[in-house]
A = this chain, B = another copy of it.
Amino acid sequence: MRTYISDLKDHIGEEVTLKGWVYNYRASSKKIKFLILRDGTGLCQCVYFKGECEEEAIELFSEVTQEACVEVTGVPRIEERSPGGVELGAQKLKILSKTVDYPITPKEHGTDFLMNHRHLWLRSKKQHAALRVRAELISAIRDFFNGDGFTLVDAPIFTPSSCEGTSNLFETNYFDDKAYLSQSGQLYMEAAAAAFGKAYCFGPTFRAEKSKTRRHLIEFWMVEPEVAFNDLYDNMELAEKFVEYIIQRTIKNKAEELKILERDTSGLEKIKGEFPRLHYKEAVEIIKKENPNFIDGDDFGGTDETIISSKFDKPVFVHHFPSAIKAFYMKEDENEKGYSLSCDMLGTDGYGEIIGGGQREESIDVLQDKIKEHNLDMKDFQWYLDVRRYGSFPHSGFGLGIERTVAWICGLPHIRETIPFPRMYGRLHP
């Protein structure tokens, strides 16, 4: 019967068998050999003492290499200095399969080399930890919405048209037609909100951007809730509650992984309660003091976002962006022409935009005008206009990018390590 390393503490003093891979090893002397075993659930130091273990194990140790697949039998004991607080008094050793010249050694490697070996790099301690944080975050996101009366409504990936023009879209032949890969499920979620009241989608989205920044992926995951009868302020309240929940739960449940990533989580622990809210105009005033070249009416660049977020120890909402820089479906504020009922949330520590969203236009006439203004094909949007034609209702929602949020929580400088197999401009392998 095989035991996982994460369960060892329940088997102190009992003989167990572990299977996994050699993370590291050291033959200190003829009498004592150390092997750090990795099995996906944790690391375990296995100690072979001559005389206490099988003689064959000591002999076989000379064939041990990094990432060889092995089976180790022994008795776990408490050892505070070991990872997980347990070490194994090892007795037997079996090499299940050998490994020669494992490419990723404990020495430093260049990023390109590591990314080319992503399928192996996943085995490394920090990569492993970051992806476990990602998995917990995703789980927290789903639990939040499922527990708050939302229905998961998967949006399609193949779409006949695009939300915001066809630039940056991946195209494919769809039999005798053309299909585009989804950039957002939002339009579909608006129809879903009419059916389910509270709906969300969560899936991969695609942007064909030729940018090689630390914040861009070609393929990334996004969660997009949409709520019937929510206005801009309800929307910000939802986003606030949501971000508090997912951050607090993730840092609590993945404390060990965040320690491996050397992330100081004291800042993240403060992300509770109400977040500051700035009108676009207020945000612009703050930016202008430090970036005099900023032009009123423009969208924020990365530096501008950093200027704002550096002023607060919580995420910040910026709302009421100029309508001119927002998508056609964003509702204009009736009391403030030219400004939209939009809101973005900027993360702390300079991580920039984490959430983008707002209240949607519900008037069919206004929406038709906007579609014309944006030079979009009215025919493609007839189904979307139906959401206004038949029982139109105020509604709001937002999108949160998973990878940016993982980078933020983990304190990673580059988004490429937040997804198992990143797709970027110039990278499609492995």
- Interface residues of A, CB < 8 Å — how many? 92
> How far is it, in angstroms, between the C-alpha of A135 and the C-alpha of B153 when the chains are bound?
7
Binding site for B on A (CB under 8 A): 2, 4, 6, 19-22, 39-41, 67-69, 96-97, 99, 102-103, 117, 119-120, 122-123, 127-128, 131-132, 134-135, 138-139, 142, 146, 149, 151-160, 170-175, 177, 179, 181, 188, 191-199, 203-204, 206, 208, 210, 218-219, 221, 228-229, 362, 383-384, 386-387, 389-393, 419-421, 423, 425-426, 428-430
> How far is it, in angstroms, between the C-alpha of A3 and the C-alpha of B139 when the chains are bound?
28
**A294 to B: closest C-beta gap in Å:** 32
Inter-chain contacts of A420 with B (CB < 8 A) = 153-156, 188, 192
**A383 to B: closest C-beta gap in Å:** 4
CB <8 Å contact, A421 and B132:
no
CB <8 Å contact, B221 and A391:
no
> How far is it, in angstroms, between the C-alpha of A152 and the C-alpha of B419 when the chains are bound?
11
Known: A4-B197, A170-B172. Contact between A158 and B428, CB under 8 A? yes
Inter-chain contacts of A40 with B (CB < 8 A) = 151, 193-199, 228
CB <8 Å contact, B152 and A195:
no
> How far is it, in angstroms, between the C-alpha of A383 and the C-alpha of B166 when the chains are bound?
34
Taking CB as reference atom, which chain B residue is nearest A402? Answer: B154
> How far is it, in angstroms, between the C-alpha of A302 and the C-alpha of B133 when the chains are bound?
42
> How far is it, in angstroms, between the C-alpha of A177 and the C-alpha of B428 when the chains are bound?
9
Q: List 26 A-B contacts (CB under 8 A).
A: A19-B229, A39-B197, A40-B228, A41-B197, A69-B391, A97-B391, A97-B392, A103-B390, A117-B386, A119-B188, A119-B191, A120-B390, A122-B191, A122-B194, A122-B196, A135-B152, A135-B153, A138-B152, A139-B142, A139-B146, A157-B219, A159-B428, A170-B172, A171-B173, A203-B203, A383-B430
